[in-house]
Chain A
Amino acid sequence: MKPIIRVMNVGKQYRIGSPQSSYLTLRESLTSRAAAPFRWLAGKRSSSDETFWALQEISFDVYPGEVVGIIGRNGAGKSTLLKLLSRITEPTTGKIELYGRIGSLLEVGTGFHPELSGRENIYLNGAILGMTRAEIAEKFDEIVAFAEMEKFVDTPVKHYSSGMYLRLAFAVAAHLEPEILIVDEVLAVGDVRFQRKCLDKMEGVSKEGRTVLFVSHNMPAVTRLCQRAILLDHGKLVDDDSAPRVVSSYLSSAAADSAGVREWPDLARSPGDEVVRLRAVRVRSEEGTITEAVDIRKPFLIEIEYDILRPGKRLSPVIICNNDEGICVFSSGGTSPDFLEIQDVGYTGRSVSTCRIPGDLLTEGALTVTVSINTIMDGNFTHALERDALRFQVVDSLNENSARGLYGGPMLGVVRPLLTWTNKPTRTSSDFLSPSADSGTAAR
């Protein structure tokens, strides 16, 4: 069988440099050119010549009708790969061949203009995504119905709520019908009900036999939608197999090297922005020792250490714990009034937030912690985010004090609370042996 996408030994090289300094002013360019001979005399090479490979030696084929998930940590090269496939930037080496019309959705609502009405934006956005005018006209009613906004279609988009905006934007995107569809995280929009609808639509798309490449951090979505997954790590393709297998191997390796602690010794390369940067995440036992295995019965601590670089923001650290199936077991943020009160917003420097997780709550197995630091008071904003920062095990030492009691077999559920059971005799055996008793109930 012939592949519809052939990626052959593709690599992409970037120059190192913070995004802010990537465009120069003419003066900088002139002075650096003028200074170049002197630097050369001094034996130094221009620092802007330093490069790194965002992707290296990537090769894979995708066959028609396949739905392929692309997964990996932040910075693994997923977005770069999508940008290459959707022709936004050119590869430095290698070659990609596409045997079909490609449509890419790196964002919903690309090119939406706030002054234009919903109707006008559907046409504009459709054209930008590569639909012809006839195609858009044909699907127009369907798009409007999908977005559930028949009433507002002639209202300027600037008057829409953010939910309506996203619904309309996704509705246009969902009606794109190229042979190859490239999707990046766009499912993370709107309310839960609409997300569900989008997932169903995606499933429909793949059932029609179109080829889909899907980048996501949402592991249940990847296992649900994709047969196959490709795992990238540091710009290299490290795994390419059935989706459930790659997802579980990714989740188990994601932070396997961390041993209960993850640190970023270099401030400049740590996750975060100009307001706050993450420096360390640790799992500690109740006694304070760093550990990667916690006792299912005992409380333990998740500790986030961060540097506040700019004062004046009410920062709230958040942890999200996922299990190996990618299910979010719980999330928690330092948002209680008590917590915010002790936070001095004028403070800059190192800060440590600790979350205490009670014993007898989680089930056995591995948990992966995603950490973020957000502003929640003046508009939601995520300053620092590290997905799958750390991994730890919840271990049941199988003494009869835990929720499993004396039972040794597998137990279902994403949590394992120690619940109170009571028993009280309601009928003596002589009662249910007598003919007057309701035998149906008694037999249970």
Chain B
Amino acid sequence: MTPTLLPGSLATRSDQTIMAQAELQKLPEKPVVTIQASKSHVALNLYELWAHRELLYFLIWRDVKIRYKQTLLGAAWAIIQPLLTMLIFTLIFSRVAKIDSNGIPYPVFAYAALLPWTFFANAITTSGNSIVGSAHLITKVYFPRPIIPIASVCAGLVDLAVAFPMLAVLMLYYHIDITMGALFLIPLVLLTILLAIAVGMWVSAINVRYRDVKFAMPFAVQIWMYVSPVAYPPSVVPAKWRTIYALNPFVGIIDGYRAALFGRAFDWKALAISLVVTVGLLAYASYQFRKMEKGFADII
């Protein structure tokens, strides 16, 4: 006789109950999920991303909520960053270097470019570190991984929204009228987001394997700013180099922001190049992300 020392054993549940339950549950004909060594080459499975939109929303909401916790100035940082940079630029590029700002008061001219730039620079830095920073999620639960860098980028939009009214204040101060052209800001912001997602996704994936990224990022961002027309107008670049210069997708974007805000003519060619390069980068980043994503849980 073996006395059973176990509490109320479930092990006695008969096969009949299992069968009965199985009949209650109608199993789908096709598997809901098939897990195998993947063949797909594109990470941005839009259907799957859409299915996980609530998670995306919660991750953005979390990032926004904790962004300025334990800071004294809170969301004011979203204005302080571009504003201080604008003051420094005004001092150096306008007063000392006497850069021509196409007839627009230099502070507004610079701030209009610093808005998208600050958003972009912060977005690619935080999303570049987002996968590594989410190691605890990656190794414990499944969801489409691109959600992580995308959420990081989108969380930065709150800062952009906070910094925009400051631009309106500056424009009022310098008596610049806001025209209908400002509506173009909507597609321009979307383009900026796409570009940030492309770069952020790609960098975040490389960061998993090569932690050098953390050190290289600040330099790369700085250099990128100087090769973009943030502090100066694109007209300082000689006309014959303009097309090559526009291969930097930020050239068309910044020029677009200024044209929309100050009612100037758009440089459609630069914008078109920017759009093509952004879409290309997004496809490339998505492919690279997909390739590296498989190893995330194993090497992170």
Chain A residues near B (Cβ < 8 Å): 1-2, 4, 6, 14, 22-27, 29, 63-67, 83-102, 104, 106-107, 110-111, 113, 115-116, 120, 123-124, 127-130, 132-133, 179, 203, 206, 209, 220, 223-227, 242-244, 325, 327, 410, 412, 414
Q: Give A363 to B53 CA distance when docked, in angstroms.
A: 59
- Considering the complex, give the chain A residue whose CB is closest to the CB of B213: A26
B264 at the interface (CB under 8 A from A): no
A23-B299, A25-B212, A87-B35 known; A179 vs B58 contact (CB < 8 Å):
no
* CB < 8 Å neighbour of A220 from B6, B136, B138, B210: B6
B32 and A26 contact, CB distance less than 8 A? no
Q: Mark B65-99, 1 if CB is under 8 A from A, else 0.
A: 11001100000000000000000000000000000
A1-B22, A65-B25, A90-B294 known; A101 vs B32 contact (CB < 8 Å):
yes
3 shortest interchain CB distances as A-B pairs: A209-B21, A65-B21, A97-B31
Q: Give A114 to B34 CA distance when docked, in angstroms.
A: 35
* CB < 8 Å neighbour of A224 from B11, B17, B137: B11
Q: Which of B10, B24, B294 has most A Cβ within 10 Å?
A: B10
In the complex, which residues of chain B have a beta carbon less than 8 angstroms from the beta carbon of A87? Answer: 33, 35, 142
Number of interface residues of B (CB under 8 A): 55
A206 and B35 contact, CB distance less than 8 A? no
Q: Which of B17, B36, B37, B211 has most A Cβ within 10 Å?
A: B36
A224 and B36 contact, CB distance less than 8 A? no
In the complex, which residues of chain B have a beta carbon less than 8 angstroms from the beta carbon of A1? Answer: 19, 22
In residues 15-48 of chain B, which contact A (Cβ within 8 Å)? Answer: 17-19, 21-22, 24-25, 27-28, 31-38
In the complex, which residues of chain A have a beta carbon less than 8 angstroms from the beta carbon of B13? Answer: 227
Q: Give A142 to B300 CA distance when docked, in angstroms.
A: 36
B11 and A242 contact, CB distance less than 8 A? yes
B5 and A65 contact, CB distance less than 8 A? no
In the complex, which residues of chain B have a beta carbon less than 8 angstroms from the beta carbon of A227? Answer: 10-11, 13, 18
- Considering the complex, give the chain B residue whose CB is closest to the CB of A99: B27
B18 and A63 contact, CB distance less than 8 A? yes
Q: List 20 A-B contacts (CB under 8 A).
A: A23-B211, A24-B210, A25-B210, A25-B212, A65-B25, A88-B140, A88-B142, A89-B294, A91-B37, A92-B37, A99-B27, A113-B62, A115-B65, A115-B70, A123-B58, A124-B58, A128-B55, A223-B6, A224-B9, A224-B10
B18 and A66 contact, CB distance less than 8 A? yes
In the complex, which residues of chain A have a beta carbon less than 8 angstroms from the beta carbon of B65? Answer: 115-116, 120
In residues 129-148 of chain B, which contact A (Cβ within 8 Å)? Answer: 136-143
- Considering the complex, give the chain B residue whose CB is closest to the CB of A3: B27
- Considering the complex, give the chain A residue whose CB is closest to the CB of B33: A98
Chain B residues near A (Cβ < 8 Å): 1, 3, 5-11, 13, 17-19, 21-22, 24-25, 27-28, 31-38, 54-55, 57-58, 61-62, 65-66, 69-70, 136-143, 208-212, 294, 297-300
In the complex, which residues of chain B have a beta carbon less than 8 angstroms from the beta carbon of A22? Answer: 298-299
Q: Which of A90, A101, A110, A242 has most B Cβ within 10 Å?
A: A90
B208 and A23 contact, CB distance less than 8 A? yes
Q: Give A114 to B57 CA distance when docked, in angstroms.
A: 19
Q: Give A67 to B139 CA distance when docked, in angstroms.
A: 24
B8 and A224 contact, CB distance less than 8 A? yes
Q: Give A304 to B170 CA distance when docked, in angstroms.
A: 75
- Considering the complex, give the chain A residue whose CB is closest to the CB of B28: A99
B9 and A223 contact, CB distance less than 8 A? yes
B54 and A98 contact, CB distance less than 8 A? no
B35 and A115 contact, CB distance less than 8 A? no
Q: Give A130 to B53 CA distance when docked, in angstroms.
A: 11
* CB < 8 Å neighbour of B5 from A6, A104, A414: A414
A110 and B27 contact, CB distance less than 8 A? no
A99 and B212 contact, CB distance less than 8 A? no
A127 and B58 contact, CB distance less than 8 A? yes
Q: Give A176 to B185 CA distance when docked, in angstroms.
A: 42
* CB < 8 Å neighbour of A127 from B10, B24, B54, B211: B54
12 additional contacts (CB under 8 A) given A64-B18, A84-B35: A4-B25, A29-B209, A63-B22, A64-B21, A65-B22, A67-B10, A100-B25, A106-B140, A106-B141, A127-B58, A224-B6, A325-B6
In the complex, which residues of chain B have a beta carbon less than 8 angstroms from the beta carbon of A223? Answer: 6, 9, 11
Q: Give A6 to B27 CA distance when docked, in angstroms.
A: 13
* CB < 8 Å neighbour of B31 from A99, A104, A133: A99
A224 and B7 contact, CB distance less than 8 A? yes
B10 and A225 contact, CB distance less than 8 A? yes
A90 and B66 contact, CB distance less than 8 A? no
Q: Looking at the assembled complex, report how far the CB atom of A96 sits from the nearest CB atom of chain B, in whole angstroms.
A: 4
- Considering the complex, give the chain B residue whose CB is closest to the CB of A22: B299
Q: Looking at the assembled complex, report how far the CB atom of A305 sits from the nearest CB atom of chain B, in whole angstroms.
A: 33
A99-B28, A220-B6, A412-B3 known; A14 vs B33 contact (CB < 8 Å):
no
B210 and A23 contact, CB distance less than 8 A? yes
A88 and B210 contact, CB distance less than 8 A? no
Q: Looking at the assembled complex, report how far the CB atom of A97 sits from the nearest CB atom of chain B, in whole angstroms.
A: 4
A64-B27, A65-B21 known; A85 vs B66 contact (CB < 8 Å):
no
In the complex, which residues of chain B have a beta carbon less than 8 angstroms from the beta carbon of A130? Answer: 143
Q: Give A129 to B10 CA distance when docked, in angstroms.
A: 27
In the complex, which residues of chain A have a beta carbon less than 8 angstroms from the beta carbon of B5? Answer: 325, 327, 414
B10 and A226 contact, CB distance less than 8 A? yes
In the complex, which residues of chain B have a beta carbon less than 8 angstroms from the beta carbon of A6? Answer: 31
Q: Give A117 to B131 CA distance when docked, in angstroms.
A: 24
In the complex, which residues of chain B have a beta carbon less than 8 angstroms from the beta carbon of A129? Answer: 141
